[in-house]
């Protein structure tokens, strides 16, 4: 993910994953994390502390879905984040989100629905049984993780809202609080961060609202208390810390389309055959797979083609990227 126009790209963004991971893993392997001179030489490391665990979720269903995948370690999932509201560097959200308040929280359901309403977290958690979903997650930047999310199908909320016959799209509007979100005070993106899905994508059983990971409530840096997860799309579609869900007739302009429409399309389906204008999407680095992070081939629809391919039947995926 890059900010705005190509001219703004820092050279450090070209291989950020490798550099960050290798340094951190080498230092860990050598047991050197407390040594000050090294931290000074490698500034990114100084902040890459382990994130604390969150309270456990008492009740959720486990399934076999995704159980063949090797999970990305908790510490990688919670310290290597994209959440620009808390800074653009991967290690910043874990550090800068600490003061962000996530209780009380509610989501306003608006637009083309028969049952517009405000849902608090208690109500949201009762919409459907919580379930663990082990999903491969692919960032448009070229790295990936495997995360055991805990959440509910987004379809449960949609059924409650009762979309009108005009509703074709669902927008996710996320928190934008300058007082507690350091990134929101800067014009990094057009705040609030806004993402959207076509209604049938939103209804798909793989699409979830996540409230936890690794059997614990979501850490703030991962989008507490509730965020969207759409495993066949690039990670930027998964808006974090959602405050409004709006149903609309016309395709919404999303934040990343506004920032660079030629680079980040509305669909953002993972597709190894359609390159980003500035880099290939044919392969990915799986985070946390050892000292020298493995590069593996990227799969069509992130490997979920069997489940979601029919949603795009007849569409030109090079045009509708």
> What does the binding site for ligand MTE look like in residue numbers (CB under 6 A)?
1, 81-85, 139, 174, 193, 222-223, 235-236, 238-241
Name 84's Cβ contacts closer than 8 Å, sequence gap at least 6: 1, 3, 183, 188, 189, 193
Stretch that binds Mo ion, among 85-93, 132-140, 265-273, 282-290 (CB under 5 A): 132-140
Query: Are 140 and 236 contacting, i.e. CB atoms less than 8 angstroms apart?
Result: yes
User: Would you tell me how many other CB atoms lie within 10 Å of the CB of residue 26?
Assistant: 14
In this chain, which of 212, 223, 235, 252 binds Mo ion, going by CB under 5 A?
Answer: 235
In the complex, residue closest to ligand MTE by CB:
235
Give which of 171, 177, 156 is closest to 220, Cα–Cα.
177
Which residue number, 1 or 317, has a Cβ lying nearer to ligand MTE?
1
- Of the two residues 172 and 247, which places its CB atom closer to Mo ion in the complex? 172
- Least CB distance to Mo ion at residue 144 (A): 10
Contact 298, 279 (CB under 8 A): no
Element (H, E) at 229: strand 227-229
CB of 172 to ligand MTE, least distance (A): 9
Does 139 participate in binding Mo ion (rule CB under 5 A)? yes
Q: Does 137 bind Mo ion (CB under 5 A)?
A: no
Distance between CA atoms of residues 207 and 205, nearest Å: 5
Torsion angles phi and psi, residue 305, rounded to 5: -60, -40
Q: Is 236 in the site for Mo ion (CB under 5 A)?
A: yes
Q: How far is it, in rounded angstroms, from Cα 228 to Cα 151? A: 9
Pick the closer one to ligand MTE by CB: 162 or 265: 265
Please say which residue, 4 or 32, places its beta carbon nearer to ligand MTE. Answer: 4
Comparing CB distances to Mo ion, the nearer of 235 and 239 is 235
Instruction: Give the span between the Cα atoms of 290 and 21, in whole angstroms.
Output: 9
For Mo ion, the binding residues (CB under 5 A) are 1, 82, 139, 235-236
């Amino acid at each position: 993910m890059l900010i705005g126009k190509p001219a703004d790209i820092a050279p450090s963004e070209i291989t950020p994953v490798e550099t960050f991971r290798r340094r951190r893993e080498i230092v860990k392997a050598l047991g050197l994390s407390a040594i000050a001179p090294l931290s000074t030489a490698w500034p990114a490391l100084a902040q890459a502390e382990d994130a604390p665990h969150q309270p456990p979720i008492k009740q959720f269903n486990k399934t076999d879905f995704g159980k063949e995948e090797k999970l990305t370690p908790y510490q990688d999932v919670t310290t290597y984040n994209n959440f620009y509201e808390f800074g653009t560097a991967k290690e910043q959200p874990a550090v800068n989100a600490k003061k962000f308040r996530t209780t009380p929280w509610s989501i306003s359901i608006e637009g083309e629905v028969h049952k517009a309403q405000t849902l608090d977290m208690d109500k949201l958690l009762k919409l459907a049984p919580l379930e663990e979903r082990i999903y491969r997650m692919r960032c448009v930047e070229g790295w990936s993780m495997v995360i055991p999310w805990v959440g509910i199908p987004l379809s449960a909320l949609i059924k409650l809202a009762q979309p009108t016959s005009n509703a074709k799209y669902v927008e996710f509007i996320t928190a934008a609080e300058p007082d507690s979100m350091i990134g929101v005070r800067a014009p990094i993106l057009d705040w609030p961060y806004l993402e959207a899905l076509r209604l049938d994508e939103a209804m798909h059983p793989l699409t979830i609202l996540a409230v936890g990971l690794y059997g614990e409530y979501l850490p703030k840096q991962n989008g507490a208390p509730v965020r969207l997860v759409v495993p066949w799309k690039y990670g930027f579609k998964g808006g974090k810390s959602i405050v409004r869900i709006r149903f609309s007739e016309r395709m919404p302009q999303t934040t990343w389309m506004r920032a660079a429409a030629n680079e980040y399309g509305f669909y953002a389906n993972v597709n190894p055959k359609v390159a980003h204008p500035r880099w290939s999407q044919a392969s990915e680095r799986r985070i946390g797979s050892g000292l020298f992070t493995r590069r593996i081939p990227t799969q069509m629809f992130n490997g979920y083609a069997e489940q979601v391919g029919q949603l795009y039947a007849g569409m030109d995926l090079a045009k509708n990227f």
